[in-house]
A and B are shown apart, each in its own frame.
Chain A
């Protein structure tokens, strides 16, 4: 992508494997992408395709049975480039990046906040470890953060416990927590899956505002195509640990070149087409990660499958921004043009 200095995070050929019962699950199997400053990258895909693991890998928050096998995660901190994959998992340098440079919002705000501490306390922990503010300043900052998030009566709410917050408010508090140190990158792992649609819109509005005001790069992990269409600058479609198609939102949503992307888009019901509209769900289900198809991972479920699909297709650059991992993309592209 055009200007190297604009890239906040660059992931190259990342592989994260899980080991259980002497078997190996290649959850993330060679993923590459760049995140630009002030832009939103949406990672989409079905459940279990490796979206969340990719996010956890960037934060080095992987469970104990998994590890980064190969690849690079380059994070641009000021003028230095830090290779995150080389840092010790809970070491000092990693901890300095976590929460202050790269922050994360989790899927379920109901469980992601500690029930026994006040919201203010949990936000202040971030500031305590990454800034030199004193107690009073920290408290003021907490209140102003909550205020920015649109929480009413922040002076009072700051001393309340998560259980007296509603779901939407908890997610705002989570965002306040994540944004406390003005991170360069915000990773949001399905931030609205547990919330209802009206709250969802508010949360995204908030994230969009933060992106514009602070030039934060956002990695948004989702399986909701509507959200992608609304928020994404760039989109990466993942399937079985690989990125099958990536590009700008326009590229991917309007001119999908991978059969999987197309299938995903076709399986979304469209408002206004009534109850009888044809929704084409993708046939079959995701393969067993321990018993993967050889070659292209999507081939067994693909209408375009041929013999050539027994070999894993390489990434092909269609234009400057748009890339795809499919043998048949040219024919496919022609047909749906």
Chain B
């Protein structure tokens, strides 16, 4: 899977116009530089070799753990990754946490109070959350909370003199909440319908017929069963979260992998683009593995064989 996608991305990059060299030269110099000089530069970076050869070289070194160097800055990619990956992970994990908790609980409340004012307003909010793009929320949130109310910083992650985890919390609140918003809305809508579906099932009546209090019927018997599809959905949405983080990182000047990705694509920085996209693929694959494990934990019917 990783192999197929890496090849596709590599081909895609090959097809796009321009190469790293054409971005390395400033526009002013471009008129004075000769074709021989360009070719010499290409040769120095190994860009004159055939497409398949380059792919092979890249692949073999990647397998050996050598991610190569960024063409734009000459910095080792592994170094860039070490700097940016934790930032993005931090952002998306916090967002995932918020959206799961908020989405599930709001969805359950909405389902239990079906048809009430609470349910209706949550439904409207959910639709808005799903349909309005994230960067818009990002900008509105900056305007409102950072500029008007001055509660939270506009952006950035690590500022001088603010090094402890506690100091960083205000910085992460806005971007992660905005990032979580779309996931929350989706999870909420899904949790609501899944919960309604489960509450209409017969075993809920059975549970009630045992004389148990309502909370136990709803949470232990209802929500536990309703959770499986919601977990699957959240898992499938993980790529969306990471894709969304690309935009949010731009809006909030978050020094994560998303903003690095955009920069590297603009600069036709092949090795960096390749590494990052490969990492995205890896994350998606890992996510689906985690979902499988989680669903097996929640739903005994999925488990195979003897425990």
Q: Is the CB of B300 within 8 A of A90?
A: no
Within A100-128, the residues touching B (CB, 8 Å) are 100, 103-104, 106-108, 111-117, 125-126
A328 interfacial by beta-carbon distance below 8 Å: no
Residue of A nearest to B206 (CB): A112
**Contact A103 B300, CB 8 Å, known A113-B203, A115-B225, A116-B224:** no
Residues of A within 8 A of B300 (CB): 115-116, 161, 163
Residue of B nearest to A110 (CB): B202
Cα distance A264–B210 in the bound complex, in angstroms: 34
B214 interfacial by beta-carbon distance below 8 Å: yes
* Cβ contacts A156-200/B at 8 Å (1 or 0 each): 000001010000000000100100000000000000000000000
* Cβ contacts B269-303/A at 8 Å (1 or 0 each): 00000000000000000000000000000111100
Q: Is the CB of B210 within 8 A of A61?
A: no
Binds B, one of A91-99, A140-148, A204-212, A252-260: A91-99
Total residues of chain A contacting the partner, CB 8 A:
30
Q: Is the CB of B298 within 8 A of A106?
A: no
Q: Is the CB of B205 within 8 A of A61?
A: yes
Neighbour of A103 across the interface among B205, B207, B209, B214, CB < 8 A:
B209
Instruction: Identify which of B202, B209, B224 gathers the most chain A CB atoms within 10 Å of its CB.
Output: B209
A130 interfacial by beta-carbon distance below 8 Å: yes
B211 interfacial by beta-carbon distance below 8 Å: yes
A59 interfacial by beta-carbon distance below 8 Å: yes
A333 interfacial by beta-carbon distance below 8 Å: no
Neighbour of A113 across the interface among B206, B208, B212, B224, CB < 8 A:
B206
Q: Is the CB of B208 within 8 A of A61?
A: yes
Q: How far is the CB of B195 from chain A (nearest CB, A)?
A: 14
A19 interfacial by beta-carbon distance below 8 Å: no
A304 interfacial by beta-carbon distance below 8 Å: no
Cα distance A163–B206 in the bound complex, in angstroms: 17
Interface residues of B (CB under 8 A from A): 201-203, 205-214, 221, 224-225, 298-301
Cα distance A112–B207 in the bound complex, in angstroms: 9
Residue of A nearest to B216 (CB): A125
Closest A-B pairs by Cβ, 10 of them: A99-B211, A98-B211, A99-B210, A95-B211, A111-B202, A114-B203, A161-B300, A104-B209, A112-B202, A112-B206
Residue of A nearest to B214 (CB): A90
Residues of B within 8 A of A116 (CB): 224-225, 298-301
Q: Is the CB of B299 within 8 A of A99?
A: no
Q: Is the CB of A125 within 8 A of B212?
A: yes
Residues of B within 8 A of A112 (CB): 202-203, 205-206
Within A60-112, the residues touching B (CB, 8 Å) are 61, 90, 94-100, 103-104, 106-108, 111-112
**Contact A163 B225, CB 8 Å, known A98-B210, A112-B206, A113-B206:** no
Q: How far is the CB of B33 from chain A (nearest CB, A)?
A: 68
Cα distance A245–B109 in the bound complex, in angstroms: 46
Residues of B within 8 A of A107 (CB): 202
Cα distance A126–B210 in the bound complex, in angstroms: 6
Q: How far is the CB of A195 from chain B (nearest CB, A)?
A: 15
Neighbour of B211 across the interface among A108, A117, A130, CB < 8 A:
A130
Residues of B within 8 A of A61 (CB): 205, 208-209
**Contact A106 B202, CB 8 Å, known A99-B209, A177-B210:** yes
Residues of B within 8 A of A106 (CB): 202, 205-206, 209
Cα distance A61–B210 in the bound complex, in angstroms: 11
Residue of A nearest to B227 (CB): A116
Residues of A within 8 A of B301 (CB): 115-116, 161, 163
Within A28-48, the residues touching B (CB, 8 Å) are none
Cα distance A306–B212 in the bound complex, in angstroms: 51
Residues of B within 8 A of A117 (CB): 221, 224
17 example contacts (A-B, Cβ-Cβ < 8 A) are as follows: A61-B209, A95-B213, A98-B208, A104-B206, A106-B202, A106-B209, A112-B206, A113-B206, A114-B203, A114-B225, A115-B301, A116-B225, A116-B300, A125-B212, A129-B210, A129-B211, A163-B301
**Contact A125 B203, CB 8 Å, known A116-B224, A116-B300, A163-B301:** no
Residues of A within 8 A of B214 (CB): 90
